[in-house]
Amino acid sequence: MAFHKKEEFTQKEQDLANFAKAMSHPARIAILKVLAHRNECICGEIVDILPLAQSTVSQHLKELKNAGLINGTVDGPRSCYCINWKAFEKFNSEFTSLFNNLKVKNEKACC
Amino acid sequence: MAFHKKEEFTQKEQDLANFAKAMSHPARIAILKVLAHRNECICGEIVDILPLAQSTVSQHLKELKNAGLINGTVDGPRSCYCINWKAFEKFNSEFTSLFNNLKVKNEKACC
DNA sequence: CACATTAATCGTATATTTGCGATATAAGAT
DNA sequence: ATCTTATATCGCAAATATACGATTAATGTG
């Protein structure tokens, strides 16, 4: 990278990119899926489900948490995670506002 | 990575992750924005707009094209790109189907 | 034909991500 | 107090991503 130019873009562009980056690995998609399909929060069950080592899963969880996609609370020796729905709503609205307004008129563009 | 485990996940998980990866860089978000806001296809105007070298922009365009987010046609010495709206629709529906059904009942989850 | 223009590709340096085992931490159980 | 269980963190190796300049390819222009 020589010197990351990411700062040269707008904050919104960076935010969207960061959100996307958090979801840019199948393991993290799988984690989100597990979390989304439970009413209760999960802990290490994710480790059993995913084909990854415990430390790797922990790292993915940390990244999802850093990106704000999930919330996590430490409960003694075990941790509890769940989806941060507000973050997804924010992403969804920013994502669609970027594209959806223009979709109709551009549908039959040149290429 | 030692040996990429990405194949161990479902195809849908990989597809979603790939889509997200394609959007995981602010430069690529910016490119998509430019393409979305024009009725005509653009070529090297993107290079003028972005704070990146021509070769770098070309690389980002290639990644977006490989991921199927944009279409591109070579027209002599210049190239013409535009958004692949169908891909975005597919992503949007898969993305929302992953989460939206569960959103309402989980809204007030534990953490 | 020589030259300018536009964009892709190659080679390379550096940064970041992914993954794991080992270790540390924090609580409950014995 | 020691042991067990559940997780996080550290340190490292390998893979990918990011960025750029130089080069190449393709076409139009003088």
Within a domain: residue A104? no
Strands (DSSP E) along B1-111, which ranges? 70-75, 78-83
Could you tell me the residue range of the domain that residue B57 belongs to? 10-95
Asked whether residue B29 is domain-assigned, the answer is yes
Q: In this structure, are residues A32 and A67 in contact, taking their beta carbons and an 8 Å threshold?
A: no
Instruction: Select the residue of A10, A32, A81 nearest B111 (Cβ to Cβ).
Output: A81
Residue A103 lies in a domain: no
Residue B90 CA to residue A105 CA, distance in Å, equals 18
CATH number, domain at B64?
1.10.10.10
> How far, in Å, CA of B63 to CA of A64, rounded?
24
Does residue A102 lie in a domain region? no
With residue B11 as reference, give the H or E element that holds it. Answer: helix B11-22
In chain B, what is the straight-line distance between the N-terminal and C-terminal CA atoms, in Å?
31
| Domains held by chain B: number | 1
Which residues have a Cβ under 8 Å from the Cβ of B32 and sit 6 or more positions away?
A98, A99, B23, B64, B69, B70, B83
Query: 3-class SS at A80?
Result: strand
Nearest Cα of chain A lies from the Cα of B104 at a distance, in angstroms, of: 9
Residue B76: nearest nucleotide (C-alpha to C1'): D27
Q: What is the pLDDT of residues A49-100, one digit of tens each?
A: 999 999 999 999 999 999 999 999 887 778 999 999 899 989 888 888 877 6
Looking at chain B, which residue has its C-alpha nearest residue A98?
B33
Is A4 inside a domain boundary?
A: no
Place of tokens 């922009």: B57
> Is there a domain that residue B110 lies in?
no
Specify the nucleotide whose C1' lies closest to residue A65 (CA). D8
In a domain, A1, yes or no: no
Residue B75: inside a domain, yes or no? yes
Going residue by residue through chain B (111 aa), what tens digit of pLDDT does each one get?
Answer: 446 788 899 999 999 999 999 999 999 999 999 998 886 678 889 999 999 999 999 999 999 999 999 999 988 888 999 999 899 989 888 888 887 656 555 555 566
